[in-house]
A and B are shown apart, each in its own frame.
Chain A
Amino acid sequence: MNKYGDPMIKTENLSKSFSGLEVLKNINLTVETGEVVAILGPSGSGKSTLLRMFNGLEELSGGRIQVGGISVDANQSQRERNKQIGKIRLHTGMVFQQFNLYPHKTVLQNVVEALLIVKKIPREKAITLGEKLLKRVGLLEKKDQYPNRLSGGQQQRVAIARALAMEPDLMLFDEPTSALDPELVDEVLAVIKELAHTGMTMVIVTHEMEFAREVADRIIFMADGVVVEEGTSEEFFSRPKTERARKFLKMEEVIN
């Protein structure tokens, strides 16, 4: 199963500061290949920052991170780190809260862009793959539309297809449904669930508790820049170990 012989993600004493303020403190965690992990926690807990460090969108301030056997650490030179991050990104897909589709490109162009530019595969092959992925997220008939003609839910499904186009070994989801109208959330969650069943390694930052419970194998609960608790989805939701987690779950219950 694991083609790297290592966990998909492993962090050692990972830390992150923004202008002196420490937002992540000594994070030690692993994500196994094929595992679906949800990162939960109140706003400002550092969960999105942590996720964004997995593919180098945030620089690390200290410690070490290893993704798919490629490691980045604070002692490397900037140049070395950038090189490693570049390699990590080639086999990592990311889905953003705000979709971030390219507005000047059609749906299909959005999906195949990196195939053509980064992987440099022939156009016809890229288009075949792109259409296959759009079909998978149920949007093949929209392939020649521009993103602004699509609903938020549809845009996010295109963004998922775009991330999958690079045939990643790891998918990162940064609050994929937080910017959506409530009635559009389910169609996106359905696509992510379907993906989880294919054995894709996924890390999901989310506020959708029901969804996390259903889709995740394991929960990492964060608060104030540290991992407070981790455990199987079942353990975390039925028998949270810490007071902080219990409080969080109660709050979420009230909100929903």
Chain B
Amino acid sequence: MDIIWSNLPFLLKGAYYTLLITIVSMFFGSIIAVVVAIARLKGNRSIRWLARAYVSIIRGTPTLVQIIIVYYGLADYGLNLQPLTAAYIALSISIGAYLSETLRGAIQAIPKGQYEAAYASGMTPIQTMKRIILPQAIRIAIPPAGNTFIGMLKETSLVSVITVTELLRSAQLLIAQYYVYMPFYLAIAVMYWILSTGFSFILERIERRLSIYE
């Protein structure tokens, strides 16, 4: 146990990166999701096709492969990204595809009458989407998106392969130093669990706060 306590600062730094990558990717992934969901529903033929291709490719390939392509693959073309930057990009693109599907379903669940009421009052399609449809759709999308976010938190462990010293890689580095496995792996498992539980708690609170009108 001592071995954990004495190396706790190092592990906590790893946890910090895990959290940071999760939050940054969640943020950019959400922006991508809004754009792609609207593109799929309201775009013209080629935009719709493009959005569909994006979702299909991302959902149809392993996240690990996507990460490796962004970091190692792009280097072939002279694009040498920092590991952390590559992690942000790969995971944002990945989570954006999943979230866009959730959001698309939520937008489609909003009754036609909501659009009509907004249009009848003189709002443009963009104003209607921004003020009337999206705020309602996001409330519907939050519970399933919460699952995606928690999945995301755990998937950040994949970026250890591109030398980002997040939680998993910090454990591996310590293992290489001390030649014992179990204490470090157990320690990070506990830390992942605490982080996910904290996340669920926060998401539940947000969900409850946003559902007051129901």
Stretch at the interface among A86-94, A127-135, A196-204, A234-242: A86-94
Stretch at the interface among B117-125, B150-158, B182-190: B117-125
Q: How far is the CB of A167 from chain B (nearest CB, A)?
A: 12
Q: How far is the CB of A84 from chain B (nearest CB, A)?
A: 13
Closest to B113 in A: A100
Identify which of A98, A114, A146 contacts B121 (C-beta below 8 A): A114
Stretch at the interface among B2-10, B44-52, B85-93, B127-135: B127-135
Q: How far is the CB of B206 from chain A (nearest CB, A)?
A: 14
| Interface size range on A against B | 20 to 34
A92 touches B120 (CB 8 A): yes
* CB pairs A–B below 8 angstroms (28 shown): A55-B120, A56-B119, A57-B116, A86-B122, A86-B124, A89-B120, A89-B121, A90-B122, A94-B120, A94-B121, A98-B111, A100-B113, A101-B117, A102-B114, A102-B118, A102-B136, A103-B213, A103-B214, A104-B135, A113-B121, A114-B118, A117-B127, A118-B123, A118-B127, A119-B122, A146-B213, A148-B214, A159-B117
Chain B residues with a Cβ under 8 A of chain A = 111, 113-114, 116-124, 127, 131-132, 135-136, 139, 212-214
Known: A104-B135, A117-B127. 5 other contacts (CB 8 A): A57-B120, A86-B122, A102-B117, A103-B136, A146-B212
Chain A residues with a Cβ under 8 A of chain B = 55-57, 86, 89-90, 92-94, 96, 98, 100-104, 113-114, 117-119, 146-148, 159, 162-163, 166
